[in-house]
Amino acid sequence: MLRNYKFIIAYDGTRFFGWERQPGRDTIQGKLESVLTRLQGSPVEIIGAGRTDAGVHARAMAANAQLDVDLSPEEIRDYMNRYLPDAIAVREVKEAAPRFHARYKALGKTYRYVCFDGPVKPVFDRKYVTLLDYRPDVERMQQAAAYLQGEHDFASFCGNPRMKKSTVRLVDSITVVRQRDRIVFTFHGTGFLQNMVRILVGTLLEVGRGTRQPEDMPALLEARDRRLAGPTAPPEGLCLMKVDY
């Protein structure tokens, strides 16, 4: 019998070409689908809550797939973990309502972005932080973040130049906290555009560095022009922390 399952997945995105399946390339969706296809004996499609970019990590990506297998959710989880690469782990599998759709039903997402700006590079979590060679001013970034919080047209922060649909999104919380030599940005919102978190971080870092003013944010949102925002921050510091339903 075909059942709908919800998956919670953690991955170290370092060596993957992002979430989305691509022929001939290692992607998270591709790896998950090939393990599920092997389990079921026929093609399986897995739907993620979002598509993380190449090199981006996740602690709790949510996904769903329709499966016809004679196994308990725990057995499905264990089977997948046995055959997945070490950098991907299925944390949880449970049966979901037939109409549960990981992307359409997502109510919110939490992303975390970590920068390191100390004198001595980190060794053990070096693949999960973005190294800076300057020390940004956290207070200035907090001021800028306050302007960016809320419902806005984030077209200036959208990495897809051919985006046809609405670029209005609600980002209800952006926090910037220093933890010794680490700066931790946390974003929560109902949805994010392509590269949006990384462009927000790239822009906030320019504010933190002093080359841009916190008060410039309203005009930058207003402009709806990607060229006016900061660079797309590197993927390694970004991690999808949670998807709300």
Residues marked as catalytic: 53
Q: How far is the CB of 156 from its own copies (least distance, A)?
A: 32
Does residue 129 belong to the site contacting its own copies (CB under 8 A)?
no
**5 has binding-site annotation:** no
Which positions from 43 through 102 interact with its own copies, judged by CB under 8 A? 57, 59, 74, 77-78, 81, 86-91
By CB under 8 A, name the one of 23, 24, 124, 162 that touches its own copies.
Answer: 124
The nearer residue to its own copies, 2 or 120, going by C-beta atoms, is 120
The pairing of beta strand 150-153 with beta strand 182-189: unpaired
Cβ–Cβ < 8 Å for 128, 237: yes
Q: Does 123 sit near its own copies (CB under 8 A)?
A: yes
Q: Of these, 7, 11, 19, 116, which contacts its own copies (CB under 8 A)?
A: 11
Question: Cα–Cα distance between 29 and 63 in angstroms, integer?
Answer: 9
Say whether residue 134 binds its own copies (CB under 8 A). Answer: no
Question: DSSP string of 9-46?
Answer: EEE--TTS--SS--TTS--HHHHHHHHHHHHHTS---E
Quote the CA–CA distance of 144 and 213 in Å, as a whole number. 8
CA distances from 234 to 57, 106, 117, 131, 238 (A): 12, 25, 14, 9, 8
Q: Name which position in 12, 117, 206, 236 contacts its own copies (CB under 8 A).
A: 12
Instruction: Compute the least distance from the CB of residue 152 to its own copies, in Å.
Output: 32
Which of 110, 102, 112 shows the shortest CA–CA distance to 245?
102
Enumerate binding residues for its own copies (CB under 8 A): 10-12, 57, 59, 74, 77-78, 81, 86-91, 119-126, 128
Known binding-site residues for substrate equal: 111
